[in-house]
Structure 1
Amino acid sequence: MGKLRETSLYKAHERHGGKIIDFSGWALPVQYEGIKAEHQTVRNFAGLFDVSHMGEVEVKGNEAFDFVQNLVTNDVSTLKDNQVLYTFMCYPDGGIVDDLLVYKFNRNDFLLVINASNVEKDFKWMMENIGSYDIELANISDVTSQIAIQGPNAQKILQKLTDEKLGEIGFFYCKRNVDISGANCLISRTGYTGEDGFEIYLSHEDAEKVWNDLMEAGKELGLKPAGLGARDTLRFEASLPLYGNEISKDITPLEAGFGFFVKLDKENFIGKEALMKQKREGLKRKLVGFEMIDKGIPRHGYDVMADGKKIGFVTTGYAAPTLNKNIGLAMVDIGYTKIDTPIEIKIRKRILKAKVINKRFYTKNYKK
């Protein structure tokens, strides 16, 4: 573990009995009391996540808006100040560099929140595409901690530590300079679990105190720390993608079923031509949900079969804790994407029956 990077909350994870693993070079807890228990805690009460490994890049300058608008697939012109947007960065061939959140503070000031495993690659990509834009990019990942509190009791718990009226912060909005337990924070209300909740961006120096104060404030409201394992099962049930699974350099947003976040009618963005061509010619494969009929748990990378041939691969699979079913997401040939289509999953040497179902496994409980 000596070579792994530690977040500002590493001691807190040790204190709570977190099982530490290597995640993209970071020493992070995969679980504390157990993935299923933590999953249900978030669904029913609230869970506290250390997501300090995520990347943050500031974009500032006279042409910050123009740069970001060209960089991402979604339409940044729809954002009000202090609003947040989910989107993709694509390569010219339509493959995905990363999925990210765009925070707009004003037309000349943005924050891009990117995946931990992609920070260096993403920042290099942004730098390569500055061109003549009058902007400055700053990778502030190394000086920023991030805590996420997620679950139906998240607002009640966080409200104990701030005078800010959290009920006035809408879904996919943010606010800067919020005092939480004496720390100056940026907070947002987005979530990666299917539940309501907040993200708290703050300095490394303040992170452990805020974490401890949140744990104390949430003691009687069921709050517990949650690890990466539950984070993955929660996002999977809510059909939210994970880079390297549902989305990658070899998968386009259209194939992954996220065409809503690709605005082909906006003036231009990197990858637009390739995605327009793909839409015009029609998809050859697509991401689907599936449910196991035979007994077996599908896993990432397993082959999907039909009619005696391989038709795709599993991107994520689990025994879903909330649904109590063995389900998965898979990228399959377009002829096998209709609901109720029979398919098979190759689990080791066994070929097991499954069927295509709606990807909306879990009804999301976000703030409206």
Structure 2
Amino acid sequence: MTENYTALYEEHKKLGASFTDFGGWQMPLKYGSELAEHHAVRNSAGIFDLSHMGEVWVAGPDAAAFLDYALAGKISAMAVGKAKYSLICNEDGGIIDDLIVYRRGDEKFLVVPNAGNAKVVADALVQRAANFDVAVEDASAETSLIAVQGPKAEEILLRLVPAAQHGLVTGLKYYAAVEVSFLVSGASRDLLLARTGYTGEDGFEIFVENDGAAALWQSIVAIADEGELTPSGLASRDSLRLEAGMPLYGNELSLEGDPFAAGLGPVVALSKEGDFVGKAALAAKKEAGAGSSTGRKLVGLKGLGRRAGRGHYPVLKDGNVVGEVTSGQPSPTLGYPVAMAYVDVAYAEPGTALDIDLRGKAEPFEVVALPFYKRSK
């Protein structure tokens, strides 16, 4: 597999990061203690390099109608400035990727797919655009993405924004985005700021061209007080998103799965006018009771002991396999093991006692509502 390096790779090396391959990218797994990075995001703030994510621009008179056809959500209903979580499915209703769509104008949208799926999604959008008056531009290779997440994220970023624009930041709602001027290396730079994230905390994601990424990263780190902002890697990002009950493509979501079993039924707008890719298959799955009366359903599992379940471990009821773990580890915030798993719908009710087969030993868990962790607002 080809190794890709983000524009911030040298910054991570300077900070002593341990690297791992993720979706074909060399990404920082952690800089020191992944536990310390996790707690920093929960209690203060962390800064992440998300430049492995994709950025695909869709523009033109038919942009909204096109995305209604290409994606499962009703994108045309979005207001300019808002963001929406959505899915791109194949004709069989399988999930190609989960993604976020930002509406940047009446006829202009930004689609942000996951790292390993960026090219697949961009190619699928180009293919689906054949009968629409739109232009699809994959800007992933030229775009970096930096996230600042945690209760002090807003406070830190405001120090780089002119006072006249503070209201744009403080007034920015969750799942919305705005152009803001940032002071980067002594110069003002207009950047797209989104109040989105993958940690369960308040936070922001900033889109910047590659040539300005290192300077922006350095400016954010420099403006923070000592101990206020911690560079954070993929390991803490994974434990944070798991506590927040957020699915990860390749774990909870896949081509073989379906949105209803994953608890993402509300994301699928079966009632929107016209056809969309996968509509017939998804309607049939819903009619058949997928995730409600048939098949398996994604649930949260709380460990009653100290040992954690991991991905692909079997879930048991009275010794019989009734499911499979998709993600699991000890929760740093809550102090007990947590896992997400697909289990037979008969055993999906909160309070149901189940076991995870930990290499031959049945460890007790209990079904709980997701998310495991919800920040106090």
Range of TM-score over shorter length: over 0.9
Give the Å deviation of 1:93.
1.6
Is structure 2 residue 262 aligned with structure 1 residue 251? no
CA deviations on 1:100-134 (whole Å, 9 max, x unpaired) are 11111122111100100101211121122113111
The equivalent residue for 1:72 is 71
Identity of aligned residues (%): 38
Alignment partner of 1:172: what SS? coil
Task: Answer yes or no: is the 8 Å Cα contact 1:74–1:262 preserved in 2.
Answer: yes
The equivalent residue for 2:301 is 290
Moved over 6 A (4+): none
Cα distance in 2 between the residues matched to 1:84 and 1:237? 23
Q: 1:271 aligns with which of 272, 278, 295?
A: 278
The equivalent residue for 1:340 is 351
Q: 1:191 aligns with which of 197, 205, 209?
A: 197
Alignment partner of 1:93: what SS? coil
The equivalent residue for 2:360 is 349
Amino acid at match of 1:20: F
Cα distance in 2 between the residues matched to 1:328 and 1:77? 35
Cα distance in 1 between the residues matched to 2:180 and 2:368? 44
Task: Answer yes or no: is the 8 Å Cα contact 1:38–1:224 preserved in 2.
Answer: yes
Cα distance in 1 between the residues matched to 2:17 and 2:286? 45
Is structure 2 residue 243 aligned with structure 1 residue 237? yes
Amino acid at match of 2:12: H
The equivalent residue for 2:369 is 358
Cα distance in 1 between the residues matched to 2:107 and 2:180? 18
Is structure 2 residue 321 aligned with structure 1 residue 314? no
Task: Answer yes or no: is the 8 Å Cα contact 2:243–2:338 preserved in 1.
Answer: no
Task: Answer yes or no: is the 8 Å Cα contact 1:183–1:202 preserved in 2.
Answer: no
CA deviations on 1:217-237 (whole Å, 9 max, x unpaired) are 112461010000111111111
- Computed over aligned residues only, the root mean square deviation of the Cα atoms, in angstroms, reads 1.6
List gaps (5 residues or longer) in structure 2. none
Residue range with higher mean Cα deviation, 177-186 or 334-343:
177-186
TM value normalised by structure 1? 0.95
Task: Answer yes or no: is the 8 Å Cα contact 2:31–2:233 preserved in 1.
Answer: yes
Give the Å deviation of 1:180.
4.0
List gaps (5 residues or longer) in structure 1. none
Residues 274 and 266 of structure 1, relative CA distance in 2, 3 Å threshold = same
Q: 2:234 aligns with which of 225, 228, 242?
A: 228
Task: Answer yes or no: is the 8 Å Cα contact 1:196–1:365 preserved in 2.
Answer: no
Is structure 2 residue 208 aligned with structure 1 residue 205? no
Cα distance in 1 between the residues matched to 2:226 and 2:202? 19
Q: 2:223 aligns with which of 217, 236, 240?
A: 217
The equivalent residue for 2:133 is 134
Alignment partner of 1:86: what SS? strand
Q: 2:173 aligns with which of 170, 174, 196?
A: 170
Amino acid at match of 2:154: Q
Task: Answer yes or no: is the 8 Å Cα contact 1:52–1:147 preserved in 2.
Answer: yes
Alignment partner of 1:55: what SS? coil
Amino acid at match of 2:278: G
Is structure 2 residue 166 aligned with structure 1 residue 153? no
Is structure 2 residue 3 aligned with structure 1 residue 4? yes
Task: Answer yes or no: is the 8 Å Cα contact 2:182–2:191 preserved in 1.
Answer: yes
Cα distance in 2 between the residues matched to 1:220 and 1:197? 19
Cα distance in 2 between the residues matched to 1:198 and 1:19? 24
Give the Å deviation of 1:365.
5.0
TM value normalised by structure 2? 0.93
CA deviations on 1:179-210 (whole Å, 9 max, x unpaired) are 34233311110111111111111111111111
After TM superposition, the structure 1 = structure 2 runs for residues 94-109 of structure 1, keeping only pairs within 5 Å, are 94-109=93-108
Is structure 2 residue 194 aligned with structure 1 residue 179? no
